Amino acid sequence: MKSKLILRAAAGVLALALAAGAVPLSEELRLIPAAVTAAAAEEPVQFNEETGALTISGDFSDNEGALRTAPLSKAVTFRAMPGTKLPPNCGGLFAASQNLVSADFSGADLSDVTSMASLFVSCGNLETVDFSNTEISSAESLAYMFSSCSSLKSVTGLTVSSPALTSVSGMFYGCLELESIDLSGFTAPNVTAFTGMFQTCNNLASLNLRTFSTASAENFDYMFSGCSALTALDLSGFDTKQATSMKGMFSNCWCLRDLDISSFDTSAVTSMREMFAGCKALDTLDLSGFSTAECTSVREMFAQCRQLSKLNLSSFEIGSDTDVLWMLDRSYHLKELVLGSGIKEISADMQLRQPMFGWENAAAPGTSVSGDDRYAVIQNNGSNTYRKIADVAEIDGVGMQILLDGSIGLKFTAHISDQMKDQAAESNPVFFHFHDQDSPFKEYTTGFAIVEAECDENGVYSAVCNLPAKQMIDDILVEVWVRPAENPDDPIMGDQINCSVKQYANVILSDPETYASEQNLVKSMLKYGGAAQRHFGYYSTKSQLRADAGVVYDGPGLQEANYFAKPKSLSGLSYYGTSIVLKSRTVQRHYFTLDSGAITDYSFTADDIPADPVQYEDTNWYFIETPGISAQALYTPVEITVTGSDPAQKMTYSYSVMDYVTKGLRQGKTDTAAAVLTALSQLALEASQYFV
């Protein structure tokens, strides 16, 4: 019965939002009819001012001007009617058209088109493009065709077979919402530049490139950089004999675990700088087939590959002039390194982490060959395998806490090596150090927190890093430290690892068979985090946007916020309104105005738990806070009781987070705050069903 009531409550929220006209902008646009009147059908360019529908028909092959003078920037929907012939130069046709939501080229004649470069560049609201029943057969450039289309969700029927095509650089750069794309019809054989083709497509979950012809390709720089949702990539069909640069090719592919590059020929490549930098999920890389004879830079090549445990560089050649700076920087989990005769030294510049007990040659176990400085220095003679001597403590797991108790955060676990167990202090021997490794300029709620670890019955230590909604994207670096029994005030650092809620969530979403029941919950959580990030302008330089003080609505409009409770005022104290703070768990703030007397004349409780009032800045406002409400409890009312100096004077009311959400949506706003409330409503619904 409880779950049915929850469902009805959620439906009520939606009904109220619709009644107030608070339909999201994209929905509103989709409801606009795209038809044109029969009387206008004979015109080559038809535009409906009321609906924003732009339709073209006829032959524009020798009349590019007529197309470019059309009201392209005003168009909400665009359609080229079947048989419409487009001009050779369509480059930048819709550049920065912020009104455009959909474009339909299905059935149009694109045979004369030689350029679609920057066709839709920076169309921030474009969602769908249809190329069905047509073919791009003469284009020379598709560079930046969909670049910075941050709302693009689907491109259908894209068939490219042009032998003249040489550049697809940045073609899908910055398509943040694109989850998948069918490129089975992409067979252009003479492309020389794939630079940044899918760069920062950070929601792209799968990519099938089996039909790609790369035999002429010279530049693969940043081709997949920032594809942080990809978990697997099969490039076994890639021909890279002509390639000269692979700089940053897979950089920041955070979730990439399976990578097949077995066909790669790197004999002509001059730069592999940052090639795998930030591939945090890769466990093993066998590059024994890579030639680096012509390579002048492997700088940061494996930097921040935090899960990489085995690395085979047996065919690498690194000369004295090769840039090796930070080659292995922050690859904290590396345990096995295979070198051939082409690498004479692992230098300090490469920043291979020096473990507590050093590195050993597998041929002579137990003896450190890496020195005792901060970074390992290994003199290599011939072909050898080097292994890390057993470390102090190893972090071996990350969990997303929302799947355990309805809050948002990351749970880290660690094992202590047998070598250290005999030395560890009996009381609290392990602690975790959380901080923001990649962006120290950002205000970070957990900050440089040091958290004592809890130990379970199996001897596994764990600690939780809680995060506010807007910081689900943050890369959290955690270090595990051990206090030796002989000198507990001089702890020893063990393993390090980093992860973000988004990164871990993408792993769950990429495996719907194993995590079938979590799919909707995780999706709604990420939407909530994205809405919060936009509302609070998280990457803004405004320092006042603190995560622990971000109130969605906080101002004069709150006097009517409690639509359901209607509490009475006490003598000298009156209820003002309720707000919410978006922490790991949602916090309610209940505001009161003190008109006379002292705030100490009153006592406050939230669900029978005493609450201390806090003065709001230098005003007569005071507020109390709930200790934090988990996702599945957002529908549950919190009972607030205020008692005056005379116990007979009492004000009692109940209020749930969803009461606040409903009231916020009833105001009919379509701003970023309303988007947060809508996303929070969906998260509450999914969580209440998941945790039932």
Q: What is the CATH number of the domain that holds 487?
A: 2.60.40.10
Average pLDDT over residues 40-60: 88
Residues 279 and 415 in one domain: no
CB burial string 111-130: b at 16+ within 10 A, e below:
ebbbbbbbbbbbbbbbbbbb
pLDDT above 50 (res 73): yes
503 and 559 inside one domain: no
Task: Kindly indicate the confidence band of residue 447, based on its pLDDT and cuts at 50, 70 and 90.
Answer: low
Name the residue with higher pLDDT: 414 or 322.
Answer: 322
Most confident region among 116-120, 199-203, 437-441, 468-472 by mean pLDDT? 116-120
Q: What Å distances lie between residue 677 and 380, 391, 557, 580, CA to CA?
A: 59, 46, 16, 10
Cβ contacts of 681 within 8 Å, gap of 6 or more: 10, 13, 14, 658, 661, 665
Q: Are residues 257 and 342 in the same domain?
A: yes
Task: Decide if pLDDT at 607 tops 80.
Answer: yes
Together in a domain, 232 and 312: yes
| Of 256-265, 593-602, 672-681, the least confident | 672-681
**What is the pLDDT, as a whole number, of residue 13?**
28
pLDDT at 543 over 70: no
Q: What is the 3-state secondary structure (H, E, C) of 436-480?
A: ECCCCCCCCCCCCCEEECEECCCCCEEEEEECCHHHCCCCEEEEE
Side-chain half-sphere exposure of 51, counting CA atoms within 13 A: 17
The mean per-residue pLDDT over the stretch 580-597 comes to: 90
Residue of higher predicted confidence among 33 and 369: 369
Spatial contact of 449 and 479, defined as CB atoms under 8 Å apart: no
Instruction: Examine residue 189 and state whether it is found in any structural domain, yes or no.
Output: yes
Tell me: the pLDDT tens digits for 150-175?
Answer: 999 999 999 999 999 999 999 999 99
Q: What is the CATH number of the domain that holds 671?
A: 2.60.40
Measured CA to CA, the distance from residue 53 to residue 51 in angstroms comes to: 5
In the block, residue with structure tokens 């693969």 = 220
User: What is the SS3 assignment for 245?
Assistant: strand
Structure tokens at 185: 């019809």
658 neighbors 684 (Cβ within 8 angstroms): yes
pLDDT digits (tens, 9 = 90+) for 79-116: 999 999 999 999 999 999 999 999 999 999 999 999 99
The vertex-586 CA angle with 582 and 588, nearest 5°, equals 100
- Identify the sign of the CA torsion 122, 673, 15, 527: positive
Q: Please indicate, yes or no, whether residues 265 and 363 belong to a single structural domain of this protein.
A: yes
At 191, is the pLDDT very low, low, confident or very high (cuts 50, 70, 90)?
A: very high
- Position 201 in a domain: no
Domain that holds residue 331: 214-389
Q: Is residue 520 part of a domain?
A: yes
Q: What is the pLDDT of residue 669?
A: 65
57, 111: one domain:
yes
Domain count along the chain: 4
Quote the pLDDT of residue 498.
78
Residues 378 and 399 in one domain: no
The type of residue at 406 is: G
How open is the CA angle 43-44-45, to the nearest 5 degrees?
90
Phi, psi dihedral angles at 386 (to 5 degrees)? -110, 140
Q: Tell me if 542 is assigned to some domain.
A: no
Of 389, 414, 435, which marks where a domain is finished? Answer: 389
In contact, 431 and 453? CB cutoff 8 Å: yes
Based on the domain organization, do 384 and 397 belong to the same domain? no
Are residues 251 and 154 part of one domain?
A: no
SS (H, E, C) 612-642: CCEECCCCCEEEEECCCECHHHCCCCEEEEE
Q: How many residues does the chain have?
A: 692
pLDDT at 40: 37
Q: Assess contact for 159 and 136: CB atoms under 8 A.
A: yes
Evaluate whether residue 15 is within a structural domain.
no
Q: Is the pLDDT of residue 379 over 90?
A: yes
Question: Which CATH number is 169's domain given?
Answer: 3.80.10
Q: Is residue 374 part of a domain?
A: yes
Mean pLDDT over each residue of the chain, to the nearest integer: 84
Closest CA to 5 of 504, 461, 637, 442: 637
Largest Cα span, the chain:
92
Judged against a pLDDT cut of 90, whether residue 336 lies above it is answered with yes
Q: Is the pTM of this model over 0.75?
A: no
- Are residues 403 and 379 part of one domain? no
Is the model's pLDDT at 329 over the cut of 80?
yes
Q: Does some domain include residue 580?
A: yes
d(CA 326, CA 461) in angstroms, rounded, equals 31
| Residue 557 scores a pLDDT above 80 | no
What pLDDT is stored for residue 56 in this prediction?
96
| 180 compared with 238, residue with greater pLDDT | 238
195, 225, 260: which is the final residue of a domain? 195
Q: Phi, psi at residue 523, to the nearest 5°?
A: -60, -45
Given pLDDT bands bounded at 50, 70 and 90, which one contains residue 416? confident
| Shared domain check, 47 and 166 | yes
Confidence band, pLDDT 50/70/90 cuts, at residue 34: very low
Does the pLDDT of residue 438 top 70, yes or no? no
Flag whether 310 is in a domain.
Answer: yes
Q: Tell me if 138 sits within 8 A of 111, measured CB to CB.
A: yes
Going by C-alpha positions, the residue among 248, 236, 231 that lies closest to residue 179 is 231
Residue that is last in its domain, among 166, 195, 224: 195
Residue 461: alpha-carbon gap to chain centroid? 28
- For residue 442, name the pLDDT band (cuts at 50, 70, 90): very low
* 574 and 469 housed in the same domain: no
Question: Could you tell me which residue, 213 or 543, shows the higher pLDDT?
Answer: 213
